[in-house]
Amino acid sequence: MPDSQRNPEKNKLITVRLIDGKWANKVNREMIIGYCNYKLHPGALTEQLLKSHACMQKKCPYLKRLQDRKFWKDRQDKLEHKKILKQTKQAQEEISRKLLAEAQWLAVNYHVAIEIMQVSFDADRNFYKIFYISDKSQDDHEEYLDFLRAYRYLKHAGAELRHIRDMNGNYVTKKEKHCYQK
């Protein structure tokens, strides 16, 4: 059974005094998302009025929310989604830092003359990409195959080395490191 049939009051048309002093006739109850109790401009709030008066940004103490309205539920869902995205991004950044530190540690132990700048991981393929710069301005990944085998063994996964290129397609050297931007 639709929500409007279960609760006929929900879609009832009402007449209200809005916060801007105007009267609105035949307004759907669901459009009213709150009330302002400030004595200089008391009245009902629609989403548009709430935004134009910046009640949320001002953290107005006179705002009375009608929590059962869809607007507030949607807003809460958006805030929770945003929080989850932020946590996911932080977790991914932490994993990236750990991967980078592991690869740099292994490079030091294998005495390779490369500087590892970034490591990415594709979970679907169980595959790592190790991005580096070296002293040479050509693709010299074949010189570091022992390091690559050790990394694959350490991670029990596939991996490849990629010499970073600049915007013009030239291989970046340690001297040109300032040109490289993540």
Q: What pLDDT, in 10s, does the model give residues 18-47?
A: 888 888 888 888 889 999 999 888 999 999
DSSP assignment string, 154-170 = HHTSEEEEEE-B-TTSP
User: Which pTM was predicted?
Assistant: 0.60
pLDDT at 63: 93
Q: How far is CA 8 from the centre of its chain?
A: 40
Q: What pLDDT, in 10s, does the model give residues 88-107?
A: 999 989 988 999 999 999 99
Locate the domains of the chain by residue range: 3-68, 83-179
